[in-house]
Structure 1
């Protein structure tokens, strides 16, 4: 039984770069490029219209910047995973992009196989960082105070409360009447915003804040 390919949109203001990414990904039959955008506004519009699985996003775009486009896309369609593919690898760019809801961050120069692996990972709800970025993030997490729960959306707070109750993704999806893929993306958002590495750490933070213990188990 075949699985439908991962559908994605490439966003970059340089046509030759978009063509290069499209060509590199054409070698992988489980990934399908369904559209391209040259600016952030187009990216938001195409994402809303086509509902891809993944958006590969440059950050330096004319008009609406990649970080702002990422924020709008993930707010409107939490199930869409955004993978940043950019020249920038400074702490500020990485932090802003991940806080905007991106699921992954690669620096341009990554080969087709690396991009494909990242696309698959973020499509599954995982967070992935290129090797040149990971060290920056480790240092950032070590020196940045933990986020407050006010950064979480109402839906993310619901998901976190259910996590704190010991629910798995299937249970959470059933309780909230959403797909498991959307749950995975919400969980990844929670990890990124709370700056924790796994479910156990998120649950500890939630219970310390009083979430989950009195949550309605339906």
Structure 2
């Protein structure tokens, strides 16, 4: 079996060393990459495209940058991200899965990591299926305030259509599309189409 490329993101150097040493005992997990913060994690992901990322949620500077890092990594690559942290609060777990993580392991259960990593690589986990449905229903709820015509316009905006392209595709006048866009922005309480898209795409459930 080919060795998996694994990135471990952890700001505690002792924990980082211990986790990597533990994983590298496995024949299919040799040569872990290491990062101590969000910026390093994103850079390494761009450079080596790891198969699996073990991501801490909370870094020592007091920020929950781990979840933000997951969101950003998911914008440019597909990789299996497993949250490895001492936090077990419900909102942290939900935010992690909503951001794109496929599993969650408490640091006290680190011995489970090899089996969790292999399971993540082999299949879509039940929690992924659950979160996919949850996100779909959440989006439907967010768009419930829009009329069917506004939903159609918003869907095209999400796909990257410009206003002139939307006009041609829907056979509507410039003023009609402009009015619909303005109503969408007002209902979402944002100032631009980009903000509206980001608000819907944001996967944070608890702020």
Output the TM-score relative to the length of structure 2. Answer: 0.59
Equivalent residue for 1:147? 138
Q: What are the ranges of 5 or more consecutive residues in structure 1 without an aligned counterpart?
A: 130-137, 155-192, 194-218
How far residue 24 of structure 1 moved from its aligned partner, in angstroms, is 1.2
1:20-75 CA deviation, whole Å, 9 max, x = no partner? Answer: 11121122101134310000111011011110100100000246700000111112
Q: Say what the alpha-carbon RMSD is for the aligned residues.
A: 3.1
- Rg larger for: 2
Question: In structure 1, what is the Cα distance between the partners aligned to 2:52 and 2:15?
Answer: 18
Show the counterpart of 1:108: 107
8 Å contact 1:105–1:128 — kept in the other structure?
A: no
46, 49, 52: which one aligns with 1:51: 49
Runs of 4+ in 1 over 6 A off after TM superposition: none
Change (3 A) 1:145 1:8: closer
Q: Which residue of 1 aligns with 2:77?
A: 77
Contact 2:102 2:120 in 1 (8 A): yes
Decide which structure has greater helix share: 2
Q: TM-score, normalised by structure 1?
A: 0.57
Compared CA separation, residues 124 and 75, structure 1 to 2 (3 A)? farther
Hey, what's the Cα distance between the residues in 1 that align with 2:46 and 2:91? 27
User: Counterpart in 2 of 1:94?
Assistant: 93
Contact 1:9 1:33 in 2 (8 A): no
Kindly tell me: are residues 96 and 145 of structure 1, through their superposed partners in 2, closer, same or farther at Cα, counting changes over 3 Å?
A: same
Q: Distance in 1 between matches of 2:31 and 2:115?
A: 15
Residue 125 and residue 68 in structure 1: after superposition, are their counterparts in 2 closer, same or farther (change >3 A)? farther
Q: What is the DSSP-based 3-state SS (H/G/I as helix, E as strand, rest coil) of the residue aligned with 1:110?
A: helix
- Note closer, same or farther for the CA distance 1:128–1:65 as it changes in structure 2 (3 Å cut): farther
Partner of 2:170: none
Structure 2: gaps spanning 5 or more residues: 144-157, 160-202
